[in-house]
Structure 1
Amino acid sequence: MSLALGAFVAGMLISETPFKYQVEEDIKPFRDVLLGLFFITIGMLLDVNMVIHHWWVVLALLAAIVLFKFAIIASLAKLFGAPDGTAIRTGLALAQAGEFGFVLLNEITGARLIEPAVLQPVLAAMVLSMLLAPLIITKSDEIVMKVSANEWMNRSLQLTQIATRTMSAQKHVILAGFGRTGQSLATLLSEENIGYQALDLDPERVAEAQSAGANVSYGDAARREALVAAGVHRAAAMVITYASTPSALKVLRLVRELAPTLPVIVRSHDDSDLERLKAEGAAEVVPELLEGSLMLASHALVMLGVPLRRVVHRVQAARDERYSSLRGYFAGSSDTAEEDLFVRLHSVTLPEGASSVGLRVDQLGLEELATEVTAIRRGSQRIAVTPETQLQAGDVVVLRGAAEAVSYAEYQLLR
């Protein structure tokens, strides 16, 4: 067995064990580096001159690869009972050549099973198929609508069902997503006799919830037709209950176009996209990590004897200032690579001779770096930070900003 095939089989075996999540986190740094190296290597194998001289062969092979994979995958999806529209979408999404195909092609070349003159057109066709994949997936809905006659009927039936449920609704709340958060919100709205209409893309969940009497329909809140059928023009508010910023931004743009005055409340994972969501028209953004911190703090303060009124006031103040006092955290070795994009805190100790010693905070030029000083510790005391605060040797300056910006700000302070 070759090394590549052995690694592939080992990965499949590990994915079925309880250790898969830990292994995935451990190999993430290597995956990112090796994936880039892999595609660079593939690009170096490509002979552009040969591709240009035999472009018609490349196009023929490209069409053969895409059509063959599409036919096989769509047929298998149909064989397993998928509707025509779903089978076509699945085939289009997986019609391009995969990374493992490059591995097989490399093994075939090493074994000299095909001539180099044949290798180059095949390699070029595989690369082009991967480049075309995003375009094919983006246009998949339009293709399905033109190819599958039943898709029009199914889409119309979905919209009709949504419109039927909301036809008499006035001043209701539209829930985008009916997962655990959406269902909890629906329960509270029902207890207050406030109407709601939920849209969700999980057919099994929708069918089960409908049988229990929930006002939920199968539909995508990121589609104009679904929002109109859900009564976006008659609704009192809308809540995006899932934490996906790209999808939420798409929904916000549609709502701003269809019903500009409709308030939209958006759930987000953290505060990293808070400003973007507010700029796109979100009336409120609820970062679940920060809200969880506030709830933990409020319970702890009440148990410690702090008056409930003061606790409520502090929590509301944090929300009113858009969580600015809570934004940023001290990073650790357990943080993932994705968290490098989050706002973080970083402590910098100023030694004797640092260029920033003797300067005021407003003279540091940190605004240009999208970084700010949130605290200064001098000895055992915490100094109130003002623009006129002068830095001294031995001060511990706490910076807040994105990881890269904070690193550059530290360099500026210490140089």
Structure 2
Amino acid sequence: DPTPGDTPRIILVGYGRVGRIVGDILNKQGKPFIGIDVDPEAVARARKAGANVVYGDATQRAFLRKCGLGDAPAVVVTMHDAAAAEHVVAAARAERADLPVIVRARDADHAARLFTLGATEVIREVLEASFEIASTVLQALGMPVGKVIAVIHDERDTRKKRVRAGVPAD
């Protein structure tokens, strides 16, 4: 039962490998969330481990409302299924124009579709892994951490602007 609690919670859609890590970090930072997944076994494992995760279809606006969408501080979509993630973004955005919606994207084309549907931020899987590798290489070669952070930030910003503008990207 996804009945909302007294405290607004982040809605975390997709509680697989990525969602669990995001949930762990949110827990450590004292940020309440409700996880949603369509895999009953994943939900059972998460609940057994003490996580606040429910089984359900987050593409349905009524279900998102039951999970507390009305006062949620953010929606985070980590689903691997690109089409389902797009439906969740559209459903969340249809309910709340003010809501931060952060989404995992498979690639640049998927990211562009998510931005068009109203995602606030889109994190591209391959791109972020590439940034982490480049960051590690630059640090191993002696570049100061602050400079590495600035280089990666600039690269991320440039690529995000291109995707938002509909310019073909990698």
What TM-score do the two structures reach when normalised by structure 2?
Answer: 0.91
SS in 2 for 1:169: coil
Shift of the alpha carbon at 1:244?
A: 2.7
Count residues in correspondence: 168
Deviations 1:216-270 (A, max 9, x none): 0011111112100110011111111123332122111111121111111110112
Q: Are the structure 2 counterparts of residues 401 and 179 from structure 1 closer, same or farther at C-alpha, using a change threshold of 3 Å?
A: closer
Shift of the alpha carbon at 1:306?
A: 0.6
Q: Partner residue of 1:224?
A: 61
Q: Which amino acid aligns with 2:112?
A: E
Shift of the alpha carbon at 1:401?
A: 7.3
Q: Which amino acid aligns with 1:168?
A: D
Query: Where do 1:87-106 residues align within 5 Å?
Result: none
| Maintained 8 Å contact 1:169/1:231 | no
Q: Partner residue of 2:36?
A: 199
- The 4+ residue runs of structure 1 with deviation greater than 6 A are none
Q: Which amino acid aligns with 2:86?
A: L
Distance 2:169 2:144 in 1: 34
Q: Which runs of 5+ in 1 are unaligned?
A: 1-160, 328-369, 372-399, 403-415
Q: Partner residue of 1:162?
A: 2
Distance 2:161 2:91 in 1: 29
Query: Where do 1:30-41 residues align within 5 Å?
Result: none
Q: Are the structure 2 counterparts of residues 183 and 291 from structure 1 closer, same or farther at C-alpha, using a change threshold of 3 Å?
A: same
Q: Which amino acid aligns with 2:22?
A: L
| Maintained 8 Å contact 1:290/1:323 | no
Q: Are the structure 2 counterparts of residues 199 and 193 from structure 1 closer, same or farther at C-alpha, using a change threshold of 3 Å?
A: same
Q: Partner residue of 1:322?
A: 159
Query: Where do 1:6-405 residues align within 5 Å?
Result: 161-163=1-3, 166-170=4-8, 172-323=9-160
Q: Are the structure 2 counterparts of residues 258 and 293 from structure 1 closer, same or farther at C-alpha, using a change threshold of 3 Å?
A: same
Shift of the alpha carbon at 1:273?
A: 2.1
Shift of the alpha carbon at 1:189?
A: 0.4
Shift of the alpha carbon at 1:208?
A: 2.1
Identity %: 36
Distance 1:175 1:401 in 2: 28
Shift of the alpha carbon at 1:206?
A: 1.0
Q: Pairwise CA RMSD of aligned residues? A: 2.1
What TM-score do the two structures reach when normalised by structure 1?
Answer: 0.38
| Maintained 8 Å contact 1:174/1:197 | yes
- Structure with the greater relative contact order (CA < 8 A, sep ≥ 6): 1 or 2? 2
Q: Which runs of 5+ in 2 are unaligned?
A: none
Q: Which amino acid aligns with 2:154?
A: A
Distance 2:161 2:95 in 1: 32
Shift of the alpha carbon at 1:167?
A: 2.5
Shift of the alpha carbon at 1:320?
A: 1.6
Q: Which amino acid aligns with 2:142?
A: G
